[in-house]
Amino acid sequence: MRRLALGAMAALIAACPPASAGFLDEVGSVGEEQIKEKEELRKMQSEIDDIKSTVGGAMQQLRQINDQAQQSQNLKEVHLFAREGTWQIREGENVSCLTYNSKIPGPVIHAVQGDPVKIVLHNQMKTSTSLYFHGLNAPHGVNGLPRSGQGLVEPGQTFVYQFVAGDPGTYWYHPHIVHADQRLRGLFGVLIVESRLKSRGADLDLPLVFSRMQVKKETVKPAKGAASTVLKAAAGSGESHYLINGKEAPMIPPLELRRGARVKLRLINAGDEAVPLHLSGHKLELSSINGGDRLEPHVFRDTFTLQPSDSVDAEFQANNPGVWSLASELFHQASRDGRFPGGMAMIVRYSEARVK
């Protein structure tokens, strides 16, 4: 049986004709064409990948350009000019002091959370100065100890402070501690960071900066003419003047209220003494201290003490018509020559009372 099977196989092989050369050539050409097609497909895929990479890079650059344009559009830029000047603290008394943009306090700076801020300090004084954003969580290059080339601004020079506005709250700016005497002579201002979330705010939003300025009399003898006496702010000596927003009562503008209004006071102590504050006829609701330190639940106070360098957000409902006062509880801070009001004392009155 085995011999018969082997014979049949041999006969079958003999019956099959051998493959022709043309057939083999045809098979070879098909293989080469498939290889070429695969190579072309690989090149096409590589080109597509290159195009995708180029488009992706272009889109990323476009997004970066859009982001930069958006940031540029939202950029808050403020110029502060630190200079010597004259400021009227009360009727008939002009004091030679230091100011930002010729005012005490300096301009209120408003920014929105997440937006870039650029503050340019121009030193037009005869001595070096610096700038510190109190309570603000900012990089070292902005709020670090000032030194040459990094926050120390020599006379006649400028310095740019750039940062992104962080947590919403009430902050304030002034020279760094190495120039604390300049703060006591009038260099300070308010920085407010608003939340990006839209919400109903207070009907009246008012920053109030409490400060103490020591003033001494100096005799000036010009080359020609009679000598004259001037008042000059001098940290560490002289007579103390207690101010709200750079003014002494009764020159402080009254706080005018409308019944039912919600009032927000941004209270800052730029001086070197504690100030116990009392708003007669109302209770203050303390919601925040020193910028982002939220008080939850809110604290209600009849009287509270504003410590040196503190910033406190306090609100109240105007629901008790009449004429009241917001003043220090220390008589020497709220009087002048033994009379009230003087110093840190301001009138709070409703429109109904004013009309009568």
175 and 129 Cβ atoms separated by less than 8 Å? yes
pLDDT tier, 5 (very low <50, low <70, confident <90, very high otherwise): very low
pLDDT digits (tens, 9 = 90+) for 174-228: 999 989 999 999 999 999 999 988 777 899 999 999 999 999 988 877 767 777 7
Is the per-residue pLDDT at 316 higher than 90?
A: yes
pLDDT digits (tens, 9 = 90+) for 6-43: 454 455 445 555 555 555 555 566 677 778 888 888 88
CA 316 to chain centre: 25
Is the per-residue pLDDT at 154 higher than 90?
A: yes
181 and 236 Cβ atoms separated by less than 8 Å? yes
pLDDT above 90 as % of the chain: 61
pLDDT digits (tens, 9 = 90+) for 279-307: 999 999 999 988 866 777 778 999 999 99
| Helix extents (H) in the chain | 2-15, 21-74, 140-143, 180-184, 351-355
pLDDT digits (tens, 9 = 90+) for 221-277: 776 777 777 899 988 889 999 999 999 999 999 999 999 999 999 999 999 999 999
Rounded to whole angstroms, how far apart are CA atoms 353 and 283?
20
* pLDDT, average across residues 160-176: 95
* pLDDT, average across residues 94-120: 97
* pLDDT, average across residues 161-170: 94
Rounded to whole angstroms, how far apart are CA atoms 33 and 228?
107
Rounded to whole angstroms, how far apart are CA atoms 271 and 48?
68
**Any bridge partners for residue 82, and if so which?**
100, 123
Strand 345-350 and strand 284-289: the pairing is: unpaired
pLDDT at 6: 47
Rounded to whole angstroms, how far apart are CA atoms 105 and 206?
13
pLDDT at 52: 73
Strand 151-152 and strand 147-148: the pairing is: parallel
Q: Which has the closest alpha carbon to 104: 162, 174, 152, 171? A: 174
**Any bridge partners for residue 277, and if so which?**
304, 328
pLDDT at 62: 63
**What is the Cα Rg of the chain in Å?**
38
For residues 121 and 14, the model is more confident at 121
207 and 186 Cβ atoms separated by less than 8 Å? no
The enclosing H or E element of 118 equals: strand 116-123
Rounded to whole angstroms, how far apart are CA atoms 59 and 263?
48
Q: Which has the closest alpha carbon to 265: 341, 202, 191, 321? A: 202
**Any bridge partners for residue 233, and if so which?**
215
